Amino acid sequence: MAFTLLINHYKFSPAQLKQAKAIAAAEEHSGVAVEFIQQWLANQHEFLVHTSGSTGTPKPIVISRERMQASAGLTLQALEITPGTPALLCIHPQFIGGKMMLVRAMEGGLPIRIVAPGANPLKNLPMDEQPLFTALVPMQLEHILKNSASLFRLNRMKAAIIGGAAVSPALEEQAQMVTAPLYSTYGMTETVSHIALRQINGAGRKDYFTVLPGIQISTDKRGCLVINGPVVEEEVITNDRVEILSEASFRWLGRIDNIINTGGIKVQVEQLEALAVDCLAKEGYNRRVLAGGLPDEKLGHRVVLLVEGVALPDTINQSLLSCMKTALPKYWTPKEILFTEKFKESDNGKVKRSETWAGI
């Protein structure tokens, strides 16, 4: 079955899409998508994309058509997405995740509908349409789970990949109500979106990632992940500490630049944050958190937990610290809990750690 694009009440074939002036997209995200599709159908060989900026200043990267084709093929193979499977693009095509949904559709012969990248993209879909494959960000998944009609549609899908930011432990627990397989992704712009998947719900739920076919993984002397394969131009050395479980699987531990040295004890902030979110959920609060180190005369840096939103009662703070202390390694427990109205974010919703802490 051939690729087709659906925008609002209109359906476009590749031949129609090739006509540069034939389509006037009313919405900005649709215009970006159509422009990229036209470039692809014109056999453009290289594409300029930008990194998300979550760990630094966004930077431009040129990605070849061959690498994008390889990535799309590996994802379709891993998820067993066959030609004709209806797909949904509901994340912004400005970023690599959105562009790759379009490439998967074009290379895999999928009809794909474009909708605005809002909080609940399933809410206003045409009643006679049921997408079977999509990509979501965690915030969208959270909103879908709160709407029974949207949850019904999600449950009928063959697969949904969740990327753009980490899936919190609290959201993963909420996702157990979903019967369709949901996959957290690991990857970056440099690897042409994800290179590994982790099912987060159902019988196939895992606490580790499985790499796509043809991807080779190893670690450097720091214990950080090294990636090779058809989706990278050259070996990619990451700053992500991992535990290699097999030649095709790894457990993500956290970023090496997110380690706090407190009195000689090294604290991995992502592990601390995951536990803090879980402890907050037990108290009935669904909040985002960041762990960091503030200067301390005795320790060098003291561990501090930053919670998004209004300040919590002291009794809750004490319960939170007590919960964390029972489960964390010695000396990992935060010395202080701070609050901020809202974390700083990049354009695609990723938390910007350094900028958030700079405002404290």
Are residues 149 and 33 part of one domain?
A: yes
Query: How high is the pLDDT of residue 21?
Result: 59
pLDDT of residue 142: 94
Could you tell me the mean pLDDT of each successive run of 10 residues in the chain, 360 residues long? 87 85 68 93 94 69 97 98 98 94 98 95 93 96 96 98 89 95 97 98 97 97 97 95 97 94 94 94 93 93 96 96 94 96 84 90
**Torsion angle of the four alpha carbons 161, 167, 170, 173, in this order, in degrees rounded to the nearest 10:** 30
Q: Which two tokens stand for residue 236?
A: 């990619």
Task: Collect all residues with Cβ–Cβ distance below 8 Å to 326 and sequence separation of at least 6.
Answer: none
Residue 80 belongs to domain spanning: 4-215
Whether 123 maps to a domain, the answer reads yes
Q: Are 56 and 204 within one domain?
A: yes
Residues 191 and 314 placed together within one structural domain of the fold: no
Residue 318 lies inside a defined structural domain of this protein = yes
CA angle (117 as vertex; 116, 121 as ends), nearest 5: 80
Domain boundary, last residue among 158, 192, 215: 215
**Claim to verify: residue 201 and residue 293 sit in the same structural domain:** no
Per the structure, the count of domains in the chain is: 2
Domain limit, last residue, from 187, 215, 243:
215
**Domain shared by 19 and 133, yes or no:** yes
Residue 244 lies in a domain: no
Read off the CATH number of the domain in which 187 is found: 3.40.50.12780
- Is residue 64 a part of any domain in this protein? yes
Residues 6 or more apart in contact with residue 198 via CB below 8 angstroms:
183, 184, 185, 186, 206, 207, 208, 209, 210
